[in-house]
Structure 1
Amino acid sequence: MKILFYGTKEYDQIYFEKYLPEYPGIEIEFAHAELEKQTVSLAAGCDAVCAFVNAEIHREVLQRMAGLDIHLLLLRCAGFNQVDLNAAAEYKITVMRVPGYSPEAVAEHAMALTLTACRRIHKAYNRVRENDFSLQGLAGVTLCQKTAGIIGTGKIGAAMARICHGFGMRVLAYDVYPNSDLDFASYVPLDELLAQSDLVSLHCPLTDATHHLINIKTIHKMKDGVILVNTSRGGLIKTEDLVEGIRAHKFFAVGLDVYEEEKNYVYEDYSSAILSHSTTARLLSFPNVVITSHQGFLTDEALTAICTTTLENARCFLEGRTSGNEVTA
């Protein structure tokens, strides 16, 4: 089996080349280009393609893949909302993902964003680098004995709930399917969670029902001085409404590892560019906002799990076996 990896970075190549010898019969080629309709032709002669979370894999992309006799799409990520699964089924393309590479990695990053934003670590870091040791404007808040609201209690949300519990926080949770393992958490309706939480952390998938879950109406239901963190999907938050809420001093701090505009910028260097008409640039102008570049997954343990699971998915397909990681409409 020959697989073309799209949108690859240096760390992708390092990790996959490290583990590839354990999977004889599988050959990998790496491409920097993202998987889109204009780049499908790069995979001519391949048996499968592999893409990451930022690739938008619509019907035309899948149709062109099928035209090249490619019937396996590997996702080296957990999310699959970016794939037209109905079209994949129509063109007999199997879609396989990495469902749980390291929930703790993402949850720990969510807490890192929380602490960085609420203790003004980003401001202090830059200040001290300029030999400014003043404390003006750096006062934060203590998380212990505060209330954490976890929206979505799958593997990552559950890990974040445990971290918050370990910090001595009261934990409220909201999920369509409550997690019975979280015996310390209280499941409440969403409006109640928003009204009572000092920290709101998003860990739910992006669906039609959750798109713009955080909007001006739900923001108004939150406490004044709330901390909002999102390490799930950018589309969960309506960015224009978030900007309005920040300007109205609704938030003590905001930490984002994902955001609506990230497809245009994520994983690329735009340090010499002017981001005209960019909502992300507006968010970066606020002193109580911390933004990272969708790096919650970026740990040695998570990258190892992503590599081995992706390669195992490919081997299962090659041998005609199911892995349990197949995604269907």
Structure 2
Amino acid sequence: MKVLVFSSRSYDRAALIKMPTDHALFFTERRLTKETVHLASGHDAVSLFTSDDGSGTVLDMLHGLGVRYVLLRSAGYDHVDIQKANTLGMRVAHVPEYSPNSVAEHAVAMLMAVNRKIIQGQLLMQLQDFRIDSLMGFDIHGKTVGVIGTGKIGRAFANIMTGFGAKVMAYDPAPNQEAIEKGVQYGTLQALLSECDVISIHCPLKAETKHLFSHENLKRMKAGAILINTSRGAVIDTVALIESLAAGHLGGACLDVYEFERGLFFEDHTNESCLDANFIRLRSFKNVLITAHQGFLTQDAVEQIAGTTLENLNRFSNHLACSNELTVWKSEVANRQN
């Protein structure tokens, strides 16, 4: 098979090329959009990342070009119209599992950087201003940390927080027995919002979770709490978040994802003016740390993603069942379980 890998970067190419395969892999750094879909002409399959457009319109165009397989290099699939793909007879697979520790550890790193004001301290150091008056943080030990979503990444984050000596609360429609056995206490969303000093988001983006952190829910959060998001940007209402930060209600925000990141993250905009007023405003807060969706970016995780992507391709090319294949039915079940 001929496979075009959209939104590919050096780490993608290195990991995929290293894997043994009989398929011909071609790479482009360009995102899949209506304007770039023509690049897939002559290919049997495409591989997409979270920044790519897998809408029904684009899938129709891919199908017209002869593409029959869509290989996602991500666990999330909210950027792909699974129902449309199924209707067209296109097979889609994702990577449901790769190092959950990569994202969990990144969330912890961001938390500690914001809480202990590491970046501000470094900036002062470079200015030779060695005063520490503005760098006060708080102990994680003894605090209450909330986890929204206790899949593998959420549980990995909870385990680290337990190791810090924090009390861990969780909200998830489907409580996990392993998490309970490790001391995680499940409660209502309202209880978690009002009681937690730190809240970390690890749930998928779906209708029920879009803008879960709305104006109302952000107001319900404990004053001075830190909010972490390494899942999907739209789980937080960006405008509401800005208002909460500007009002001094939230103590800080750690964002590895951003509601309007498509077309912004993973691209070089060095010589361009940023026209996203919300993003500019978020960057202006000293108590906000933003990284460009790099939580997954460890050698371990990238190699696992590459291996699973090619295994999915092998299953498809040999007309075999694939446990990672996405169908409307499977998506609905996953949404109920997350």
* Equivalent runs, 1:49-60 vs 2, <5 Å: 49-60=46-57
Q: What secondary structure, in the 3-state scheme, does the structure 1 residue paired with 2:4 have? A: strand
Residue equivalent to 1:100: 97
Tell me the alpha carbon deviations over residues 126-150 of structure 1, each in whole angstroms, 9 at most, x when there is no partner. 2222333221311111100000000
Match for 2:247: what amino acid? A
Residue equivalent to 1:245: 244
Contact 2:51–2:263 (8 Å) recurs in 1: no
Q: Unpaired segments of 5 or more residues in structure 1?
A: none
User: CA shift at 1:70, angstroms?
Assistant: 1.2
2:94 equivalent to 1:83: no
Contact 1:261–1:279 (8 Å) recurs in 2: no
**1:281, 1:12 → 2: CA distance?**
29
**1:271, 1:122 → 2: CA distance?**
21
2:16 equivalent to 1:16: yes
Residue equivalent to 1:187: 186
**1:312, 1:277 → 2: CA distance?**
39
Match for 1:4: what amino acid? L
Tell me the alpha carbon deviations over residues 203-237 of structure 1, each in whole angstroms, 9 at most, x when there is no partner. 00001110000011001111111010000000000
**2:188, 2:275 → 1: CA distance?**
39
**2:52, 2:78 → 1: CA distance?**
10
User: CA shift at 1:41, angstroms?
Assistant: 1.5
**1:240, 1:41 → 2: CA distance?**
36
Q: 1:148 aligns with which of 142, 145, 148?
A: 145
Q: What secondary structure, in the 3-state scheme, does the structure 2 residue paired with 1:74 have? A: strand
* Equivalent runs, 1:94-243 vs 2, <5 Å: 94-182=91-179, 183=181, 184-243=183-242
Moved more, 184-193 or 260-269: 260-269
**1:269, 1:59 → 2: CA distance?**
27
**1:159, 1:125 → 2: CA distance?**
29
**2:137, 2:37 → 1: CA distance?**
49
Match for 1:84: what amino acid? D
Residue equivalent to 2:6: 6
Q: What secondary structure, in the 3-state scheme, does the structure 2 residue paired with 1:49 have? A: strand
Give identity over the alignment, percent.
40
The change in CA–CA distance for 1:66 and 1:276 in structure 2 (over 3 A counts) is closer
Residue equivalent to 2:336: none
Q: What secondary structure, in the 3-state scheme, does the structure 2 residue paired with 1:315 have? A: helix
**1:192, 1:271 → 2: CA distance?**
43
Q: What secondary structure, in the 3-state scheme, does the structure 1 residue paired with 2:74 have? A: coil
Match for 2:7: what amino acid? G
Q: Taking structure 1 as the reference length, what is the TM-score of the superposition? A: 0.97
- Output the aligned Cα RMSD: 1.0
**1:274, 1:44 → 2: CA distance?**
33
Contact 1:78–1:100 (8 Å) recurs in 2: yes
Q: Unpaired segments of 5 or more residues in structure 2?
A: 329-338
Residue equivalent to 1:42: 39
User: CA shift at 1:277, angstroms?
Assistant: 4.2
Number of residue pairs aligned between Structure 1 and Structure 2? 326
Residue equivalent to 2:331: none
Q: What secondary structure, in the 3-state scheme, does the structure 2 residue paired with 1:246 have? A: helix
